[in-house]
Amino acid sequence: MDMNLSPAWVAFLEAHGHKAVRWSEVGPPEAPDHALINWARAHDHVVLTHDHDFGAILTQGGERKPSVITLRTRELLPEAVGERILEVLKTLESELRQGALVIIEPERVRLRPLSSKP
């Protein structure tokens, strides 16, 4: 998970059976977004973030992985949107495994499959 989200997400996701790691546990906090993307791709992780740059980086680069879930909500703590994240992880599991950009907004969830480079 990206540095812009609370460390509380790690405990929340792990309590619900998901492996979770915050970027600061595996890389320098000041590292560029590309470093986090490359690590997540190499370790087959999904990136959870509030930063809109990740989707742009992936779509511009034509990459299929890693999948990214972007929160576009005011409330960013697990107590507020944790159940929505769990629902997305469950209902879009196949898409996330294949490579997808998921945007969680207050009223909807948007899915954009990521295509491989031509």
Q: Are 100 and 106 in contact (CB under 8 A)?
A: no
Per-residue pLDDT of the chain (118 residues; tens, 9 = 90+): 999 999 999 999 999 999 999 999 999 999 999 999 999 999 999 999 998 888 888 877 777 899 999 999 999 999 999 999 999 999 999 999 999 999 999 999 999 998 754 4
pLDDT for residue 46: 96
Cis, bond preceding 113 (omega within 30 deg of 0): no
pLDDT for residue 53: 85
Q: What would the two tokens of residue 81 be? A: 């949107």
Amino acid at 50: H
Q: Which residues contact 100 (CB under 8 A, 6 or more apart)?
A: 67, 68, 92, 111, 112, 113, 114
Distance CA(93)–CA(86), nearest Å, equals 10
Q: Are 51 and 72 in contact (CB under 8 A)?
A: no
Q: Are 70 and 52 in contact (CB under 8 A)?
A: yes
pLDDT for residue 118: 45
Q: β-strands 100-104, 109-113: how paired? A: antiparallel
pLDDT for residue 116: 56
Helix axes 33-42, 53-61, angle to 10 degrees: 70
